[in-house]
Chains A and B, each alone.
Chain A
Amino acid sequence: DARVTQTPRHKVTEMGQEVTMRCQPILGHNTVFWYRQTMMQGLELLAYFRNRAPLDDSGMPKDRFSAEMPDATLATLKIQPSEPRDSAVYFCASGLNSPLHFGNGTRLTVT
């Protein structure tokens, strides 16, 4: 089965450090989403790409977060500098029309 692959699965880092999360979407999918999930906020959309072009990143704190798709097989989400409130599970999802397929997520802990 084709699947969305995210790395790393877990990341523990100290406040102020840079964090990079990677996502390999399913081959042929033209939309990629980044979501953040916490107990309090549920699934929040951070950024959304179609055909590698950013369509919406209004949910992302611009001062510290950045999302890119350097090519069709790689999406990245960076946090610099990281803060304890960034601790969450970050999901990448890809799709072609519908529905979205989710990766297993990166569980980020910032101490």
Chain B
Amino acid sequence: GQNIDQPTEMTATEGAIVQINCTYQTSGFNGLFWYQQHAGEAPTFLSYNVLDGLEEKGRFSSFLSRSKGYSYLLLKELQMKDSASYLCAVRDPAAGNKLTFGGGTRVLVKP
């Protein structure tokens, strides 16, 4: 089976840093994705990790440890527009390479 866990909600202050953790247990692994979803909108792709280590994209970074089944998304210099849900998803070749999502973490940025 597949199990992907992330916190339900986090609150942070504008300008600060927030780290959203994601742990997964899957039969196989072929990449971990982070998506951002604003209320009432579609998820949009943020980052992709398939090898261990840190991927940096501007204010957003994502880290992966395959041995620990663990990833995090780091949001730096938070802006009000970063208030959204952040979804962790794992692609599992043992499950036909389908993409399975965690429940999402709602991040609220306060002034």
Contacts and interface: CB of A to CB of B under 8 A. Distances in A.
Interface of A: 33, 35, 42-43, 45, 48, 55-56, 91, 98-105
Contact of B98 (A33, A99, A101, A105): A33
A100 B34 CA distance: 11
Nearest to B103: A42
Contacts, number: 43
Interface in B42-75: 42-45, 48
B31 A102 contact: no
Given A43-B87, A104-B41, A99 B96 contact: no
Contacts of B98: 33, 45, 48, 55-56
A55 B87 contact: no
B43 A98 contact: no
A101 B48 CA distance: 13
Given A42-B104, A43-B87, A102 B99 contact: no
B100 to A, nearest CB: 7
Contacts of A91: 42-43
Given A45-B100, A56-B98, A98-B31, 9 more contacts: A42-B87, A42-B102, A43-B43, A55-B98, A98-B33, A100-B33, A102-B42, A102-B44, A104-B42
